[in-house]
Structure 1
Amino acid sequence: MSTIIQGDQLRTLLLGTRVEKAYPTIAVETKTLFTVAGGKVLITSLVGEVTTAITVAGTTKLQANPTTGTTGDLCAATDLGTTDTPAGDLISFQGLKGDSIVFGVGATPTLKQPIAVNTGTIEQVTATGADGGITWVLTYIPLDNGATVTAA
């Protein structure tokens, strides 16, 4: 039996374009993960895979920081390290305002509610305690012609 459509083609049809950013050594900082250019995009999924275990108590959140306008949280700050998050765990959030990051069993790769963001950056804010590493994968659909997302 032949395959007419490949997995990456199906993903692009359902979720949009895929972009990946490795953050191998988490630090207490605001780290730019992705750059949004050329206009508005709709984030359809945003999931991280823990590449190095997170074992130190500390808060992490994701935020959109537009070039013009107000910076806004994509999810609530969540402690990923008090109960260790081992390498291989997936982390994500639902896309609903104020949701915490979900990790381990129950992490969903697609957002229940896609998020529109404007030109600017998507950032990981680690305010306290930091160790481990995460590789983030974001999928998006351009809302404006020419809008793109790239790894920072």
Structure 2
Amino acid sequence: MSTIIQGNQVRSILFGVRVSKSYAAFAAETATLFTVTGGKVLVTSLVGEVTTAITVANTVKLQANPTTGTTKDLCAATDIGTTDTPVGDLLSFQGLTGDSILHGPGAVPTLKQPLVINTGTIEQVTTGTGPDGAVTWVLTYVPLDDGAAVVAA
């Protein structure tokens, strides 16, 4: 039996373009994950996979930092280290104002509603004393403006 449409093509039709960014070593900092250029994009999913266990109490949030305008939290700062978050756990949030980051082994919900992000950056803000761990973030998007794109920072 032949396959007419491949898995990556189905994903592109449903969610748009895929971009990934490995945040190799958590630190108490604001780290740029993705850069949005050329106009507005519609973020259809944003999921992280823990690649190094997170074992130290810390809070993590994601935010949109536009080139012009006000920085906006995409989710609430969430402690993901007091109760260890092991390798392979997934991280996500539902896209509603004030949502915490959800994490679990093998399954988490993704955005209930897509997010419109303007030109600028998407950042991970990590706080705490000596945070540890690493995450690979995968974002999918659809350009809303001609020429708009997202790249890993």
TM bracket, shorter-chain basis: over 0.9
Which position in structure 2 is the counterpart of 1:66? Answer: 66
Which position in structure 2 is the counterpart of 1:50? Answer: 50
> What do residues 65-84 of structure 1 show as CA deviations (whole Å, max 9, x unaligned)?
00000000000000000100
Which position in structure 2 is the counterpart of 1:90? Answer: 90
* 1:13 counterpart SS class: helix
- Equivalent pairs, count: 151
The separation in 2 between residues aligned to 1:107 and 1:52, in whole angstroms, is: 18
* 1:68 counterpart SS class: coil
Which position in structure 2 is the counterpart of 1:138? Answer: 139
Gaps of 5+ in 1: none
Amino acid at match of 1:107: V
Identity of aligned residues (%): 73
**Cα RMSD (Å):** 0.8
The separation in 1 between residues aligned to 2:141 and 2:132, in whole angstroms, is: 28
Which runs of structure 1 show a deviation greater than 4 angstroms over 4 or more consecutive aligned residues? none
Q: Displacement of 1:116 after TM fit?
A: 0.2
* 1:84 counterpart SS class: coil
Amino acid at match of 1:148: A
TM-score scaled to structure 2, two decimals? 0.97
Amino acid at match of 1:68: T
Gaps of 5+ in 2: none
* 1:2 counterpart SS class: coil
Which position in structure 1 is the counterpart of 2:152? Answer: 151
After alignment, is 97-106 or 48-57 more displaced? 97-106
* 1:113 counterpart SS class: coil
> What do residues 20-75 of structure 1 show as CA deviations (whole Å, max 9, x unaligned)?
00011010000000000000000000000000000000110000000000000000
The separation in 2 between residues aligned to 1:128 and 1:147, in whole angstroms, is: 35
The separation in 2 between residues aligned to 1:34 and 1:126, in whole angstroms, is: 16
